[in-house]
Amino acid sequence: MTDPKRLKISHQTGSYEVLVGKNLLAQIGEYLRVIRATGPVGIITNNTVNELYGGVIRDHLRSVGLLTRTILIPDGEAYKTLASAEQVISALIAQGMERSGTILTLGGGVVTDLGGFVASVLFRGVKLVHIPTTLLSMVDAAVGGKTGVNHSSGKNLVGSFYQPDLVLMDIDTLKSLEDRDRVSGFAEMFKMGVIRDTAYLDFLMSNLLTLIEGSADEILITAIARSCALKAEVVEVDEKEADLRRILNFGHTLGHAIETTLGYGVIRHGEAVILGMYGAGWLSSQIGTLQQEDWNKLAAMLLKIPLDVPIESLDADAIEASTRKDKKVANSQLNFVLLNRLGEPQMQSGIPVLMIKLAVDALKKAWGRAV
Ligand SMILES: NC(=O)c1ccc[n+]([C@@H]2O[C@H](COP(=O)([O-])OP(=O)(O)OC[C@H]3O[C@@H](n4cnc5c(N)ncnc54)[C@H](O)[C@@H]3O)[C@@H](O)[C@H]2O)c1
């Protein structure tokens, strides 16, 4: 068994390790020992993931003498709410969770976001270990310390910055993932390449199908670890998103609006970000910050990513209306992450919200031509 790749991520009050490898779940107890985690260990997960991977984790924790409590949340973005967080907290308290215990999140980004939020507020903060089990949660949600739940007015409006003590990424868990969830995770790695590292972007594109199929372990581990390292470079400089970290929102302003408009469950987060990146690239080329050659390259790459989304049903007016509610809007003008060139993003203020509709028209036309 090869050792996992290890990244150390520093933050204002310390640091934590991210491990990317194989067969890590069956050694979970040893890893918890290293960070001096004590029980009870409150495992926050959902039915789908619990049935697949909960057993092996509980068995190993039991074998090293750690008590576990498993709290299930219903599967789906619609349950990433304050009400679910409160239910999880009540269940943990009822089952004897202690201030000195550990929260272990096991699942995709919905679980890591909600479980991280619970860990940050329960007893004013308990030890937190993330075990992300989707590609998207490995390369994005579980790294960087953002936690949160949705509100009826929008996504992730309630949350906290709360750093984990350890993140374990076991690529064996990705084998059970649906194809669309692999594409969704690929999108966030692609984004990191677009905004930080064009050599990595080329690596991703030359291994596009291998990565989406998850058919070569070493390539997958390399791609995940590099994406996390690129994200770490950004969040280490700007943990609380005062400045540089905002570039991570590339593709997300429009992506969130598309997600909200289509409704949870219709489109995956990363799928919406692929469309959002197209829109942001198109805007960059229209405004003149992005040269035609780079725009053509970006558009061609995005159109190569297999996407199973009802793009023709996107409602440009509704999406424009939704962006008006975005946290980044003032006076009907948006702050938008645009590109100067591939690998070099910039924050642009004063983008008229009206241009969102045009960007949606452009992306619908592009995918319409591609099919
Ligand atoms: N905090 C952050 O910085 C951050 C960053 C990006 C995204 N997010 C959040 O992440 C969420 C999206 O995460 P996601 O794409 O992982 O979605 P998800 O958590 O809904 O998981 C997708 C589906 O895959 C299932 N699943 C999870 N692991 C599996 C496995 N190994 N095998 C089979 N099925 C599995 C889940 O049960 C779910 O049905 C959104 O809520 C988004 O806002 C947060």
Annotated domain spans of the chain: 5-176, 234-370
Q: Is 145 in the pocket of ligand 1 (CB under 6 A)?
A: no
Counting every residue written for the chain, the total comes to 371
Q: How far apart are CA 297 and CA 227, in angstroms?
A: 20
Q: Which residues contact 99 (CB under 8 A, 6 or more apart)?
A: 123, 126
Question: Is it true that 5-176 and 234-370 share their CATH fold?
Answer: no
H helices within the chain, ranges in order?
28-34, 47-49, 55-63, 82-94, 109-121, 135-136, 179-196, 198-206, 208-213, 217-237, 252-262, 269-287, 292-304, 316-323, 354-370
Output the CA 187–ligand 1 centroid distance in Å: 13
| Choice from 56, 110, 247 to test ligand 1 binding pocket (greatest atom count within 8 A of CB) | 110
Judged by phi (left if over 0) then psi (alpha if -120 to 50, else beta), residue 300 lies in: alpha
Name the one residue in this structure whose structure tokens are 């890590």. Answer: 24
* C-alpha of residue 221 to centroid of ligand 1, in Å: 18
Residue with CA at minimum distance from ligand 1 atom 41:
110
pLDDT, one tens digit for every residue, the chain (371 residues)? 579 999 999 999 999 999 999 999 999 999 999 999 998 999 999 999 999 999 999 999 999 999 999 999 999 999 999 999 999 999 999 999 999 999 999 999 999 999 999 999 999 999 999 999 999 999 999 999 999 999 987 788 899 999 999 999 999 999 999 999 999 999 999 999 999 999 999 999 999 999 999 899 999 999 999 999 999 999 999 898 888 999 999 999 999 999 989 987 899 999 999 999 999 999 999 999 999 999 999 999 999 999 999 999 999 999 999 888 766 666 667 888 999 999 999 999 888 888 999 999 999 999 998 76
Position 330 scores a pLDDT of 66
Q: What's the gap in Å between 77 CA and the centre of ligand 1?
A: 8
What is the phi/psi pair of residue 329, to 5°? -100, 140
CA-CA distances (angstroms) from residue 13 to 10, 78, 100? 8, 33, 18
Measured by CA distance, the residue closest to atom 7 of ligand 1 is 141
CA distances from 126 to 102, 117, 360, 362 (A): 6, 11, 43, 47
331 CA distance to ligand 1 middle (Å): 33
Measure 333 CA to ligand 1 centroid, in angstroms.
31
* Residue owning the nearest CA to atom 30 of ligand 1: 177
| Ligand 1 contact, 160 CB (< 6 A) | no
Nearest atom, ligand 1, residue 47 CA: 37
- CATH no. for 5-176: 3.40.50.1970
Cβ of residue 236 lying under 6 Å from some atom of ligand 1: no
Report the distance separating Cα 148 and Cα 30, nearest Å. 29
What kind and span of H or E run contains 155? strand 154-161
Instruction: Indicate which residue's Cα is closest to atom 36 of ligand 1.
Output: 108
Any ligand 1 atom below 6 A from CB of 173: yes
Is residue 50 lining ligand 1, measured as CB closer than 6 Å? no
Q: How far is the CA of 133 from the centre of ligand 1 (A)?
A: 8
Residue nearest to atom 33 of ligand 1 (CA): 177
- The predicted pLDDT at position 327 comes to 62
Going 282 to 287 to 289 to 290, the CA torsion angle's sign is positive
In this structure, is the dihedral angle defined by the CA atoms of residues 342, 346, 347 and 348, taken in order, positive or negative?
negative
> What is the third-level CATH fold of 234-370?
Dehydroquinate synthase-like, alpha domain (1.20.1090)
